[in-house]
C-alpha cells in the first residue's frame, strides 16, 4: 500500500452537485435563445476542451470566447452567477476533505478554463476555504484530464512523486489517467466507498 502524502480532488460531482440543465436554463432566460441552441453552440464543438487545456489562456479571453459562442455580451458577474447556481456544495464530502488535511496535503484539479479560476471565490467558496492557492483548473497546466501530463505537472509543482499521490474523480477515465501517470486513483461513487478508500490508505 503506497504512503499517500498528497490527495488531489476533482470538483464537480465529487465536492459539488453539478447540473448542466440548470446552467442551460439560466443562460436561455438570459439570452432568449433555446437551451438546445446554447448547448450546441458553446459545448457542442471543440472550444470548451481547448479552453480546459489552456486555450485561451486568460479569464478575459475565455469570457470573450464564451460571449461570442453564446451570441450575448455576458459579463463576469453574470457568468459567475450562472455557474454558482448550477452547483450545490456537498458538506459531508467537504468535511471529509478537512479531516484528510490533518494527515496529507490536498489540492483541487478541475477540468475548466481560466475564467472559473477567477470565479472560484464566487462559485465555490467552500473549496477556496479548504484548498486556498492549491485550488486549480486544468488550464493552468496547459493540459486536461485524462492527459497524463496534467497529473504529473500538479504533482511536480508541489514536490510530490506520483507514487505518493492520490487522485479522486467521478469519471473513471480520469482516475485511470491518474493511475497511468503513477498516482493511486479512486472513482467517486458514494461517500461510504470514498471513506473506505481513505481508511485503507490511513487517510482518516
Query: Can you give the pLDDT at residue 6?
Result: 98
Q: Are residues 11 and 111 in the same domain?
A: yes
Cβ(124)–Cβ(90) below 8 Å: no
Q: Are residues 40 and 125 in the same domain?
A: no
Q: Where does residue 166 rank: exposed (0-12), middle (13-18), buried (19+ CB within 10 A)?
A: buried
pLDDT digit string, tens, across residues 70-117: 999 999 999 999 999 999 999 999 999 999 999 999 999 999 999 999
Q: Are residues 49 and 78 in the same domain?
A: yes
Which positions ≥6 away from 43 have C-beta within 8 Å? none
- Look at residue 2 and tell me whether its pLDDT is greater than 90: no
Q: Are residues 170 and 105 in the same domain?
A: yes
Q: What is the three-state SS of 81-150?
A: HHHHHCEEECHHHHHHHHHHCCCCEEEEEECCCHHHHHHHHHHCHHHHHHHHHHEEEHHHHCCCCCCHHH
Q: Are residues 99 and 184 in the same domain?
A: yes
Q: Are residues 106 and 42 in the same domain?
A: no
Residue 40: give the domain boundaries.
Answer: 18-85
Q: For residue 156, give the H/E element and its range.
A: helix 148-157
Q: Are residues 141 and 183 in the same domain?
A: yes
CA angle 18, 23, 39 (to 5 degrees): 110
If one counts the domains in the chain, the total is: 2
**Which residue is it, cell 459545448?**
43
Q: Are residues 12 and 27 in the same domain?
A: no
For the chain, helix, strand, coil in percent to 5 are 55, 15, 30
Is 71 part of a structural domain of the chain? yes
Q: Are residues 103 and 172 in the same domain?
A: yes
pLDDT category, 128, cuts 50, 70, 90?
Answer: very high
Q: Are residues 72 and 130 in the same domain?
A: no
pLDDT digit string, tens, across residues 20-71: 999 999 999 999 999 999 999 999 999 999 999 999 999 999 999 999 999 9
Domain limit, last residue, from 38, 68, 85: 85
Is 1 part of a structural domain of the chain? no
Which positions ≥6 away from 165 have C-beta within 8 Å? 4, 5, 6, 7, 8, 151, 155, 182, 183, 184
Question: Which of 172, 195, 167 shows the shortest CA–CA distance to 2?
Answer: 167
Query: Can you give the pLDDT at residue 1?
Result: 73
Is 67 part of a structural domain of the chain? yes
Q: Are residues 94 and 164 in the same domain?
A: yes
CATH number of the domain within which 166 lies: 3.40.50.1000
Domain limit, last residue, from 43, 66, 85: 85
CA angle 79, 80, 86 (to 5 degrees): 95
Q: For residue 168, give the H/E element and its range.
A: strand 165-169
Is 81 part of a structural domain of the chain? yes
For residue 53, give the 3-state DSSP assignment: coil
pLDDT digit string, tens, across residues 144-190: 999 999 999 999 999 999 999 999 999 999 999 999 999 999 999 99
Q: Are residues 11 and 22 in the same domain?
A: no
d(CA 103, CA 30): 45
Amino acid at each position: 500500500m503506497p504512503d499517500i502524502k498528497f490527495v488531489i480532488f476533482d470538483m464537480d460531482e465529487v465536492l459539488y452537485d453539478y447540473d448542466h440543465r440548470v446552467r442551460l436554463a439560466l443562460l436561455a432566460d438570459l439570452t432568449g435563445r433555446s437551451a438546445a441552441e446554447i448547448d450546441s453552440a458553446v459545448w457542442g464543438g471543440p472550444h470548451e476542451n481547448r479552453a480546459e487545456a489552456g486555450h485561451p489562456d486568460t479569464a478575459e479571453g475565455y469570457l470573450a470566447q464564451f460571449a461570442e459562442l453564446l451570441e450575448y455580451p455576458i459579463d463576469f458577474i453574470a457568468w459567475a452567477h450562472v455557474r454558482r447556481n448550477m452547483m450545490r456544495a456537498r458538506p459531508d464530502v467537504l468535511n471529509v476533505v478537512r479531516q484528510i488535511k490533518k494527515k496529507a496535503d490536498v489540492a483541487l484539479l478541475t477540468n475548466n478554463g481560466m475564467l472559473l479560476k477567477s470565479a472560484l471565490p464566487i462559485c465555490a467558496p467552500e473549496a477556496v476555504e479548504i484548498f486556498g492557492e492549491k485550488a486549480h483548473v486544468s488550464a493552468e497546466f496547459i493540459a486536461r484530464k485524462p492527459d497524463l501530463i496534467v497529473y504529473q505537472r500538479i504533482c511536480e509543482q508541489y514536490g510530490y512523486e506520483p507514487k505518493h499521490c492520490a487522485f479522486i474523480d467521478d469519471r473513471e477515465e480520469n482516475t485511470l489517467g491518474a493511475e497511468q501517470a503513477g498516482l493511486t486513483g479512486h472513482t467517486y461513487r458514494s461517500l461510504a466507498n470514498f471513506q473506505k478508500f481513505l481508511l485503507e490508505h490511513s487517510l482518516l
